Amino acid sequence: MASPTTYAVQTTEQNLVDFFTFCGKISSVKYDDAEHSAIVHFEKPQAAKTALMLNGGTLDGAHLSVTSETTHPDHDGSADNDHEHLDQTDKPRAGIAAEYLARGYKLSDHILERAIALDNEKGISQKFLAYIQSMDTTLGEKALGKDKTISGKVQEALGQATAQARSLDEVKGVSKSAGDYYSKALASPLGQSVFSFYTTTSKQILDIHEEARRIADTHKAAAAHAAAAGEKRETPASTAVGSSAPPLDPAVDAPKLQ
């Protein structure tokens, strides 16, 4: 599935690949430096549809024009129940938009509105919902007891639940074995907000900015920890399982809310 794109004079082919990788896996790029245009081919049609959502976004200081003469279907790929093989296209569009902001890309509020509209229109991938709900239950049971979930911590003190989760993690290495953004985010004091963001279609632009800040803060904390431990580590900007997004630039600040 292809999305023709026009871009800034200084934009390289690698810049385009880095940018559109957030939409989903790219199969090929037909890059025309003379015309400042490219045709980006994605493996999945829903990735191309996400790319179209980004029309008018900013890359290298100039607006991108992303068009297509094809109507791309929006299959969610949820035919199987293998939750360990999620990819970028399984995620809510609002979550993908948050990743762009966390990476330092500029998306207008109009694009964020498109992301929310797509989630409302198409719903959230059942495969992704199953993954998040499974993570919510697994972490809840380990931290709080049988039949407990992180998102269900409404009446009890969430701070106490978080302390229990942290204590358990230190003893048994829960988040080390889980090892991804979602498990750590759900087990934080903001766990209910994170769960709601990724499982409901009712969102506001502010919610996307707040999630972008959480993602950026998480990656910066991980990079700081790796630096303190003397590790050489690239922190991916994408929160998706199995996604190969470009590394987060430590110099990029979390988005500031207006």
pLDDT at residue 208 is higher than 80: yes
pLDDT of residue 124: 92
Dump pLDDT digits (tens) for 142-162.
Answer: 766 777 776 775 434 445 555
φ/ψ of residue 216, rounded to 5: -65, -45
pLDDT of residue 37: 86
Greatest alpha-carbon pair distance for the chain in Å reads 62
Residue with token string 């990724």: 198
pLDDT at residue 110 is higher than 90: yes
Cα-based angle 183, 20, 54 (whole degrees, multiple of 5): 95
For the segment 21-33, the average pLDDT, to the nearest whole number, is 92
**Cβ neighbourhood burial of 36 (10 Å; 0-12, 13-18, 19+):** middle
Rank 70-84, 105-119, 148-162, 238-252 by mean pLDDT and report only the highest.
105-119
Residue that wins the pLDDT comparison between 154 and 12: 12
Residue that wins the pLDDT comparison between 191 and 168: 191
pLDDT of residue 175: 42
pLDDT of residue 50: 94
For the segment 14-42, the average pLDDT, to the nearest whole number, is 90
For the segment 189-208, the average pLDDT, to the nearest whole number, is 91
* Domain map (residue ranges) of the chain: 126-199
pLDDT at residue 95 is higher than 90: yes
Split at pLDDT 50, 70, 90, the class of 219 is confident
For the segment 98-109, the average pLDDT, to the nearest whole number, is 94
pLDDT at residue 247 is higher than 50: no
For the segment 84-97, the average pLDDT, to the nearest whole number, is 88
Split at pLDDT 50, 70, 90, the class of 251 is very low
Q: How far apart are CA 58 and CA 172, in angstroms?
A: 44
pLDDT at residue 115 is higher than 60: yes
Residue that wins the pLDDT comparison between 5 and 243: 5
Provide the percentage of residues in the chain whose pLDDT is more than 90: 36
pLDDT of residue 103: 93
Rank 39-53, 175-189, 224-238 by mean pLDDT and report only the highest.
39-53
pLDDT of residue 227: 76
Provide the percentage of residues in the chain whose pLDDT is more than 70: 69
Residue with token string 């719903």: 123
**Cβ neighbourhood burial of 89 (10 Å; 0-12, 13-18, 19+):** buried
- Mean pLDDT, rounded, of the chain: 77
